[in-house]
Structure 1
Amino acid sequence: MRRLLTGLLGALVLAGCSTGTSAVDVNNGGEFRFVAGTPAGEVLPPGERAGAPQFSGTLLGGGEFSSAELDGDVAVLNFWGSWCPPCRVETPQFQEVYADVRDRGVAFLGLNVKETSEQFATAFVASEGIEFPSLYDPRGEVALAFRDYPANAIPSTIVLDRQGRVAAVYTGEVAQEDLRAVLDMLLAEEG
Protein backbone atom coordinates (compact mmCIF):
# COMPACT_ATOMS: atom_id res chain seq x y z
CA MET A 1 0.00 0.00 0.00
CA ARG A 2 2.81 2.38 0.90
CA ARG A 3 4.53 1.76 -2.48
CA LEU A 4 1.26 2.39 -4.30
CA LEU A 5 0.75 5.71 -2.51
CA THR A 6 4.36 6.73 -3.13
CA GLY A 7 4.00 5.83 -6.82
CA LEU A 8 0.76 7.76 -7.17
CA LEU A 9 2.26 10.81 -5.44
CA GLY A 10 5.27 10.66 -7.75
CA ALA A 11 3.05 10.42 -10.82
CA LEU A 12 1.00 13.41 -9.69
CA VAL A 13 4.12 15.47 -9.08
CA LEU A 14 5.52 14.66 -12.52
CA ALA A 15 2.20 15.31 -14.23
CA GLY A 16 1.85 18.70 -12.55
CA CYS A 17 5.31 19.91 -13.53
CA SER A 18 5.24 18.69 -17.12
CA THR A 19 2.16 20.63 -18.24
CA GLY A 20 3.92 23.96 -18.54
CA THR A 21 1.06 25.68 -16.73
CA SER A 22 1.93 24.48 -13.25
CA ALA A 23 4.74 25.44 -10.98
CA VAL A 24 6.31 24.00 -7.87
CA ASP A 25 6.03 25.93 -4.59
CA VAL A 26 9.40 26.24 -2.82
CA ASN A 27 8.21 28.37 0.09
CA ASN A 28 6.80 25.65 2.28
CA GLY A 29 9.65 24.43 4.44
CA GLY A 30 11.61 22.83 1.62
CA GLU A 31 8.80 20.55 0.50
CA PHE A 32 7.65 20.82 -3.10
CA ARG A 33 4.03 21.12 -4.12
CA PHE A 34 2.52 22.15 -7.42
CA VAL A 35 0.32 25.19 -7.82
CA ALA A 36 -1.72 26.36 -10.78
CA GLY A 37 0.20 28.60 -13.15
CA THR A 38 -0.79 31.81 -14.89
CA PRO A 39 0.31 31.10 -18.47
CA ALA A 40 -0.33 34.61 -19.82
CA GLY A 41 0.98 36.26 -16.67
CA GLU A 42 -0.13 39.50 -15.13
CA VAL A 43 1.05 42.82 -16.55
CA LEU A 44 0.64 45.76 -14.18
CA PRO A 45 -0.21 49.27 -15.36
CA PRO A 46 2.43 51.89 -14.39
CA GLY A 47 0.27 53.37 -11.62
CA GLU A 48 -0.07 49.98 -9.87
CA ARG A 49 3.60 48.99 -9.88
CA ALA A 50 5.58 48.71 -6.65
CA GLY A 51 9.33 48.76 -6.25
CA ALA A 52 11.09 45.41 -6.33
CA PRO A 53 12.98 44.34 -3.22
CA GLN A 54 16.75 44.80 -3.21
CA PHE A 55 18.79 41.60 -3.21
CA SER A 56 22.31 40.30 -3.72
CA GLY A 57 24.06 36.97 -3.98
CA THR A 58 26.73 34.84 -5.57
CA LEU A 59 26.65 34.10 -9.29
CA LEU A 60 27.00 30.58 -10.67
CA GLY A 61 30.70 30.18 -11.35
CA GLY A 62 31.62 32.84 -8.78
CA GLY A 63 31.40 36.58 -8.38
CA GLU A 64 28.98 38.73 -6.48
CA PHE A 65 25.83 40.36 -7.85
CA SER A 66 23.66 43.16 -6.52
CA SER A 67 20.23 44.13 -7.81
CA ALA A 68 21.59 47.68 -8.10
CA GLU A 69 23.30 46.45 -11.29
CA LEU A 70 19.84 46.32 -12.90
CA ASP A 71 19.10 50.02 -12.25
CA GLY A 72 17.94 51.85 -15.36
CA ASP A 73 17.32 48.70 -17.41
CA VAL A 74 14.19 46.71 -18.06
CA ALA A 75 15.03 43.47 -16.22
CA VAL A 76 13.83 39.88 -16.56
CA LEU A 77 14.25 37.82 -13.38
CA ASN A 78 13.69 34.12 -13.96
CA PHE A 79 13.50 31.75 -10.98
CA TRP A 80 14.51 28.27 -12.18
CA GLY A 81 15.96 24.88 -11.30
CA SER A 82 17.67 22.31 -13.51
CA TRP A 83 15.32 19.70 -12.00
CA CYS A 84 12.23 21.54 -13.31
CA PRO A 85 10.88 20.31 -16.71
CA PRO A 86 9.15 23.62 -17.66
CA CYS A 87 12.43 25.42 -16.91
CA ARG A 88 14.20 23.17 -19.42
CA VAL A 89 11.71 24.31 -22.07
CA GLU A 90 11.70 28.03 -21.36
CA THR A 91 15.38 28.66 -20.53
CA PRO A 92 16.67 28.18 -24.11
CA GLN A 93 13.82 30.42 -25.30
CA PHE A 94 14.90 33.06 -22.78
CA GLN A 95 18.39 32.88 -24.30
CA GLU A 96 16.89 33.59 -27.74
CA VAL A 97 15.01 36.63 -26.43
CA TYR A 98 18.06 37.81 -24.48
CA ALA A 99 20.24 37.64 -27.61
CA ASP A 100 17.72 39.83 -29.43
CA VAL A 101 17.21 42.49 -26.72
CA ARG A 102 20.37 42.71 -24.61
CA ASP A 103 21.63 45.70 -26.61
CA ARG A 104 18.31 47.54 -26.16
CA GLY A 105 18.54 48.14 -22.40
CA VAL A 106 17.17 44.79 -21.22
CA ALA A 107 19.00 42.76 -18.57
CA PHE A 108 18.29 39.10 -17.81
CA LEU A 109 19.12 37.39 -14.53
CA GLY A 110 18.46 33.77 -13.70
CA LEU A 111 17.91 32.84 -10.07
CA ASN A 112 18.70 29.18 -9.53
CA VAL A 113 16.77 27.93 -6.49
CA LYS A 114 16.36 24.68 -4.57
CA GLU A 115 19.24 23.06 -6.46
CA THR A 116 20.95 20.18 -4.68
CA SER A 117 24.31 21.01 -6.26
CA GLU A 118 25.76 24.07 -7.94
CA GLN A 119 27.40 21.62 -10.34
CA PHE A 120 23.97 20.60 -11.71
CA ALA A 121 22.99 24.24 -12.27
CA THR A 122 26.32 25.09 -13.93
CA ALA A 123 26.08 22.04 -16.21
CA PHE A 124 22.53 23.00 -17.22
CA VAL A 125 23.54 26.57 -18.09
CA ALA A 126 26.52 25.32 -20.11
CA SER A 127 24.52 22.64 -21.97
CA GLU A 128 21.86 25.19 -23.00
CA GLY A 129 24.38 27.87 -24.02
CA ILE A 130 22.92 30.42 -21.61
CA GLU A 131 24.86 33.69 -21.75
CA PHE A 132 23.01 35.73 -19.13
CA PRO A 133 24.11 35.43 -15.49
CA SER A 134 22.37 33.36 -12.82
CA LEU A 135 22.53 33.66 -9.05
CA TYR A 136 22.99 30.44 -7.14
CA ASP A 137 20.33 30.61 -4.41
CA PRO A 138 19.88 27.03 -3.14
CA ARG A 139 17.85 28.10 -0.09
CA GLY A 140 15.53 30.32 -2.14
CA GLU A 141 16.31 33.46 -0.13
CA VAL A 142 15.86 35.82 -3.11
CA ALA A 143 12.60 34.07 -4.01
CA LEU A 144 11.42 34.75 -0.46
CA ALA A 145 12.18 38.44 -0.93
CA PHE A 146 9.75 38.38 -3.89
CA ARG A 147 7.11 36.28 -2.11
CA ASP A 148 4.42 38.91 -2.68
CA TYR A 149 4.59 38.49 -6.47
CA PRO A 150 4.78 35.23 -6.16
CA ALA A 151 8.27 33.99 -6.93
CA ASN A 152 7.83 31.10 -4.52
CA ALA A 153 6.81 28.84 -7.43
CA ILE A 154 9.27 27.43 -9.95
CA PRO A 155 9.43 28.52 -12.66
CA SER A 156 8.46 32.13 -12.06
CA THR A 157 9.45 35.19 -14.02
CA ILE A 158 9.25 38.78 -12.84
CA VAL A 159 9.84 41.66 -15.23
CA LEU A 160 10.95 45.01 -13.85
CA ASP A 161 10.50 48.36 -15.58
CA ARG A 162 13.34 50.91 -15.87
CA GLN A 163 12.41 52.35 -12.45
CA GLY A 164 12.93 48.96 -10.78
CA ARG A 165 9.21 48.38 -10.27
CA VAL A 166 7.49 45.03 -10.80
CA ALA A 167 5.74 45.38 -14.17
CA ALA A 168 4.83 41.77 -14.98
CA VAL A 169 4.61 38.46 -13.12
CA TYR A 170 4.48 34.99 -14.67
CA THR A 171 3.97 31.84 -12.63
CA GLY A 172 4.80 28.80 -14.72
CA GLU A 173 6.40 28.57 -18.13
CA VAL A 174 6.40 31.86 -20.09
CA ALA A 175 5.60 31.81 -23.79
CA GLN A 176 8.31 33.57 -25.78
CA GLU A 177 5.77 35.79 -27.56
CA ASP A 178 4.32 36.93 -24.21
CA LEU A 179 7.78 37.84 -22.92
CA ARG A 180 8.66 39.71 -26.11
CA ALA A 181 5.37 41.63 -26.00
CA VAL A 182 5.86 42.83 -22.42
CA LEU A 183 9.48 43.79 -23.12
CA ASP A 184 8.44 45.80 -26.19
CA MET A 185 5.78 47.55 -24.12
CA LEU A 186 8.22 48.42 -21.32
CA LEU A 187 10.91 49.60 -23.73
CA ALA A 188 8.35 51.92 -25.36
CA GLU A 189 7.40 53.51 -22.02
CA GLU A 190 8.84 56.92 -21.19
CA GLY A 191 11.23 56.94 -18.34
Structure 2
Amino acid sequence: MRRGMGAAAVAALLGVAGCGAATGTPQAAPSEAATTTRAATTTPKVPTNAASPTPAEKMKVVVTVPAALKFTGTTLDGEAYDGAKLAGKPTALWFWAPWCHICRDEAPTVKELASKHSKAVNLLGVGGLGEEDAMREFVDDGEVGAVTHLADEKGEIWKRFDVTSQASWVLLDKNGNEVFRGRLDHDELEDRVAELAKS
Protein backbone atom coordinates (compact mmCIF):
# COMPACT_ATOMS: atom_id res chain seq x y z
CA MET A 1 0.00 0.00 0.00
CA ARG A 2 2.78 2.39 0.92
CA ARG A 3 4.68 1.48 -2.25
CA GLY A 4 1.62 2.25 -4.37
CA MET A 5 1.15 5.62 -2.77
CA GLY A 6 4.78 6.33 -3.27
CA ALA A 7 4.60 5.53 -6.96
CA ALA A 8 1.47 7.64 -7.34
CA ALA A 9 3.16 10.58 -5.62
CA VAL A 10 6.20 10.25 -7.88
CA ALA A 11 3.96 10.13 -10.93
CA ALA A 12 2.11 13.24 -9.75
CA LEU A 13 5.38 15.10 -9.23
CA LEU A 14 6.62 14.11 -12.66
CA GLY A 15 3.36 15.35 -14.14
CA VAL A 16 3.75 18.78 -12.49
CA ALA A 17 7.38 19.05 -13.55
CA GLY A 18 6.41 18.16 -17.08
CA CYS A 19 3.67 20.80 -17.21
CA GLY A 20 4.32 22.86 -20.30
CA ALA A 21 6.37 20.12 -21.87
CA ALA A 22 3.16 18.38 -22.80
CA THR A 23 2.45 20.95 -25.51
CA GLY A 24 5.65 20.04 -27.28
CA THR A 25 7.18 23.53 -26.79
CA PRO A 26 10.43 23.35 -24.88
CA GLN A 27 10.96 25.96 -22.09
CA ALA A 28 13.51 28.53 -23.25
CA ALA A 29 16.27 29.68 -20.93
CA PRO A 30 16.25 33.42 -20.14
CA SER A 31 18.14 35.39 -22.77
CA GLU A 32 21.33 37.34 -21.96
CA ALA A 33 19.50 40.61 -22.62
CA ALA A 34 16.81 39.75 -20.11
CA THR A 35 19.43 38.72 -17.56
CA THR A 36 21.36 41.96 -18.10
CA THR A 37 18.22 44.05 -17.81
CA ARG A 38 17.22 42.30 -14.64
CA ALA A 39 20.68 42.84 -13.16
CA ALA A 40 20.65 46.49 -14.15
CA THR A 41 17.33 47.15 -12.50
CA THR A 42 18.44 45.61 -9.24
CA THR A 43 21.79 47.49 -9.03
CA PRO A 44 21.43 50.79 -7.15
CA LYS A 45 22.50 53.83 -9.15
CA VAL A 46 25.24 55.98 -7.63
CA PRO A 47 25.41 59.62 -8.79
CA THR A 48 28.59 60.12 -10.79
CA ASN A 49 29.12 63.58 -9.31
CA ALA A 50 28.43 62.61 -5.69
CA ALA A 51 32.00 63.34 -4.55
CA SER A 52 32.97 65.86 -7.24
CA PRO A 53 33.44 69.47 -6.09
CA THR A 54 31.48 72.21 -7.81
CA PRO A 55 33.35 74.68 -10.05
CA ALA A 56 33.04 77.32 -7.31
CA GLU A 57 34.58 74.92 -4.78
CA LYS A 58 37.43 74.12 -7.18
CA MET A 59 38.21 77.84 -7.58
CA LYS A 60 37.97 78.60 -3.85
CA VAL A 61 41.41 79.30 -2.43
CA VAL A 62 42.07 79.33 1.28
CA VAL A 63 44.25 82.33 2.10
CA THR A 64 46.17 82.47 5.36
CA VAL A 65 46.20 85.91 6.94
CA PRO A 66 49.74 86.86 7.99
CA ALA A 67 50.30 88.51 11.36
CA ALA A 68 51.21 91.84 9.72
CA LEU A 69 47.70 92.15 8.26
CA LYS A 70 45.80 91.34 11.43
CA PHE A 71 44.70 94.89 12.12
CA THR A 72 41.47 96.83 11.88
CA GLY A 73 40.62 100.44 11.28
CA THR A 74 38.02 102.86 9.94
CA THR A 75 37.99 104.30 6.45
CA LEU A 76 37.52 108.00 5.76
CA ASP A 77 33.98 107.04 4.70
CA GLY A 78 33.33 105.78 8.23
CA GLU A 79 33.29 102.08 7.34
CA ALA A 80 34.98 99.35 9.39
CA TYR A 81 38.07 97.98 7.68
CA ASP A 82 39.78 94.62 8.25
CA GLY A 83 43.41 94.31 7.15
CA ALA A 84 42.79 90.60 6.51
CA LYS A 85 41.20 91.52 3.17
CA LEU A 86 44.69 92.42 1.93
CA ALA A 87 45.93 88.84 2.34
CA GLY A 88 47.06 86.93 -0.73
CA LYS A 89 48.45 89.91 -2.68
CA PRO A 90 51.45 92.21 -2.22
CA THR A 91 50.55 95.37 -0.31
CA ALA A 92 51.86 98.94 -0.34
CA LEU A 93 50.90 100.96 2.75
CA TRP A 94 51.20 104.73 2.38
CA PHE A 95 51.50 106.60 5.68
CA TRP A 96 50.70 110.28 5.18
CA ALA A 97 49.57 113.37 7.06
CA PRO A 98 47.13 115.93 5.64
CA TRP A 99 49.44 118.92 6.21
CA CYS A 100 52.54 117.17 4.79
CA HIS A 101 53.90 118.81 1.61
CA ILE A 102 55.93 115.73 0.67
CA CYS A 103 52.77 113.63 0.95
CA ARG A 104 50.92 116.03 -1.34
CA ASP A 105 53.75 115.79 -3.85
CA GLU A 106 53.40 111.98 -3.78
CA ALA A 107 49.66 112.05 -4.51
CA PRO A 108 49.96 112.14 -8.35
CA THR A 109 52.34 109.15 -8.24
CA VAL A 110 49.95 107.25 -5.96
CA LYS A 111 47.07 108.02 -8.33
CA GLU A 112 49.13 106.69 -11.24
CA LEU A 113 50.16 103.55 -9.35
CA ALA A 114 46.53 102.83 -8.48
CA SER A 115 45.52 102.94 -12.14
CA LYS A 116 48.45 100.74 -13.22
CA HIS A 117 48.79 98.15 -10.48
CA SER A 118 45.57 97.98 -8.43
CA LYS A 119 44.77 94.48 -9.72
CA ALA A 120 48.15 93.06 -8.71
CA VAL A 121 49.02 95.14 -5.63
CA ASN A 122 46.91 96.36 -2.72
CA LEU A 123 47.35 100.10 -2.15
CA LEU A 124 46.19 101.41 1.21
CA GLY A 125 46.59 104.92 2.54
CA VAL A 126 46.87 105.43 6.29
CA GLY A 127 46.28 109.04 7.24
CA GLY A 128 47.52 110.24 10.61
CA LEU A 129 48.73 113.24 12.61
CA GLY A 130 45.63 115.21 11.74
CA GLU A 131 41.85 115.36 11.88
CA GLU A 132 39.47 113.45 9.64
CA ASP A 133 38.07 116.53 7.90
CA ALA A 134 41.60 117.59 6.92
CA MET A 135 42.31 114.01 5.76
CA ARG A 136 39.25 113.96 3.51
CA GLU A 137 40.28 117.30 2.06
CA PHE A 138 43.77 115.92 1.39
CA VAL A 139 42.32 112.94 -0.51
CA ASP A 140 40.02 115.18 -2.58
CA ASP A 141 42.75 117.70 -3.41
CA GLY A 142 45.24 114.97 -4.32
CA GLU A 143 42.64 113.07 -6.39
CA VAL A 144 43.59 109.79 -4.70
CA GLY A 145 40.05 108.68 -3.88
CA ALA A 146 40.49 105.51 -5.95
CA VAL A 147 42.71 104.27 -3.09
CA THR A 148 41.15 103.24 0.23
CA HIS A 149 42.35 105.45 3.10
CA LEU A 150 42.12 104.80 6.82
CA ALA A 151 41.77 107.57 9.40
CA ASP A 152 44.38 106.67 12.01
CA GLU A 153 44.04 109.69 14.30
CA LYS A 154 45.35 107.80 17.33
CA GLY A 155 48.30 106.44 15.37
CA GLU A 156 47.57 102.81 16.24
CA ILE A 157 48.35 101.44 12.76
CA TRP A 158 51.38 103.71 12.49
CA LYS A 159 52.72 102.21 15.73
CA ARG A 160 51.94 98.69 14.58
CA PHE A 161 54.24 99.16 11.57
CA ASP A 162 56.83 101.21 13.52
CA VAL A 163 56.23 104.27 11.35
CA THR A 164 57.44 107.46 13.05
CA SER A 165 57.31 110.02 10.25
CA GLN A 166 55.44 110.93 7.12
CA ALA A 167 55.58 110.32 4.21
CA SER A 168 56.55 106.69 4.72
CA TRP A 169 55.91 103.47 2.86
CA VAL A 170 55.71 99.90 4.14
CA LEU A 171 55.84 97.29 1.39
CA LEU A 172 54.75 93.72 2.05
CA ASP A 173 55.07 90.72 -0.25
CA LYS A 174 52.10 88.44 -0.93
CA ASN A 175 52.96 86.40 2.19
CA GLY A 176 52.85 89.47 4.40
CA ASN A 177 56.62 89.75 4.82
CA GLU A 178 57.97 93.28 5.03
CA VAL A 179 60.33 94.01 2.13
CA PHE A 180 60.73 97.76 2.67
CA ARG A 181 59.97 100.54 5.15
CA GLY A 182 60.83 104.22 4.78
CA ARG A 183 60.66 107.09 2.31
CA LEU A 184 60.71 106.65 -1.45
CA ASP A 185 61.05 109.23 -4.18
CA HIS A 186 58.89 109.15 -7.30
CA ASP A 187 61.08 106.80 -9.36
CA GLU A 188 61.92 104.46 -6.48
CA LEU A 189 58.26 104.17 -5.57
CA GLU A 190 57.25 103.30 -9.12
CA ASP A 191 60.04 100.72 -9.45
CA ARG A 192 59.31 99.02 -6.14
CA VAL A 193 55.55 98.79 -6.67
CA ALA A 194 56.09 97.49 -10.21
CA GLU A 195 58.41 94.85 -8.74
CA LEU A 196 55.75 93.86 -6.21
CA ALA A 197 53.21 93.54 -9.02
CA LYS A 198 55.42 90.98 -10.77
CA SER A 199 55.90 88.84 -7.66
TM-score, scaled relative to structure 2 = 0.62
| 1:98-139 Cα deviation digits (max 9, x unpaired) | 111112x11110001111x21111111012211101100111
Q: What amino acid does structure 1 have at the position aligned with 2:164? A: N
Distance of 1:90 and 1:180 partners within structure 2: 11
Unaligned stretches of 5+ in structure 1? 1-49
| Cα RMSD for the two superposed structures | 1.7
CA distance in 1, matches of 2:133, 2:74: 14
Deviation at 1:51, TM superposition (A): 5.7
1:181, 1:154 → 2: CA distance?
Answer: 20
Q: Residue 188 of structure 2: SS of its match in structure 1?
A: helix
Structure 1's 80 and 136: CA in aligned 2 closer, same or farther, altered over 3 A? Answer: same
Describe the superposition over 1:50-108 as per-residue Cα deviations: whole angstroms up to 9, x where unpaired: 963521100001111111111011111011011111111012211111111112x1111
How many residue pairs get matched?
133
The structure number with the bigger radius of gyration is 2
Rounded to whole Å, the distance in 2 between the matches of 1:95 and 1:74 is 18
Does the 8 Å contact 1:51/1:165 carry over to 2?
A: no
Whole-Å Cα distance in 2 between the matches of residues 53 and 67 of structure 1?
5
Q: State the one-letter code of the partner of 2:111.
A: Q
User: Which residue number corresponds to residue 153 of structure 2?
Assistant: 138
Equivalent residue for 2:177? 165
Aligned 8 A contact 2:132 2:151 in 1: yes
Provide the residue aligned with 1:182 in structure 2.
192
Name the structure, 1 or 2, with higher relative contact order (CA <8 Å, separation 6+).
1
CA contact (8 A) 2:117 2:197 kept: no
- Alignment partner for residue 125 of structure 1, among 139, 161, 181? 139
Aligned partner (choices 70, 73, 84) of residue 54 of structure 1: 70
Which residue, 148, 154, 165 being the options, matches 2:166? 154
For residues 126 and 52 of structure 1, the distance between their equivalents in structure 2, rounded to whole angstroms, comes to 29
Q: Which residue of 2 is the match for residue 90 of structure 1?
A: 106
SS of the equivalent of 1:114 reads coil
1:74–1:186: 8 Å Cα contact kept in structure 2?
yes
Partner-residue secondary structure (3-state), 1:125:
helix
The answer as to whether partners of 1:75 and 1:108 remain within 8 angstroms in 2 is: yes
TM-score by length of 1: 0.65
Q: Which stretches in structure 2 are left out of the alignment for 5+ residues? A: 1-65
Separation (CA, whole Å) in 2 of partners of 1:125 and 1:133: 10
Q: 2 CA distance for matches of 1:166 and 1:120? A: 29
Q: Which residue of 1 is the match for residue 121 of structure 2?
A: 106
